[in-house]
Amino acid sequence: MSDIADKANDAIQENLDRILAQRQMPSTEPSALECEECGADIPEARRIAVPGTEHCTECASMLERKRFINGVMG
């Protein structure tokens, strides 16, 4: 019988697998010029490095942390 630590590890691994799978699918959409979340300009280097991005680095990090926490806690 699995305990709470095993369940937590399984949830974390599933979430990491999902995030990595999403990152491996390159977008064909053009990147936004401004962040959808905060409205800040998205630097050209980020738009080139992350095709289809809609968020600045700071907002993208914040949103990933929220998705990760929701995946583990949800």
**pLDDT, mean of residues 19-32:** 76
Structure tokens at 28: 């064909």
Residue 25 has pLDDT above 70, yes or no: no
Question: How many other CB atoms sit within 10 Å of the CB of residue 40?
Answer: 13
Evaluate if residue 33 carries a pLDDT over 60: yes
User: Distance between CA atoms of 70 and 64, rounded to whole angstroms?
Assistant: 10
Q: Which pLDDT band, with edges at 50, 70 and 90, does 2 fall under?
A: low
HSE, side-chain direction, 13 A CA sphere, residue 70:
8
Q: Are 68 and 19 in contact (CB under 8 A)?
A: yes
Residue type, 37: E
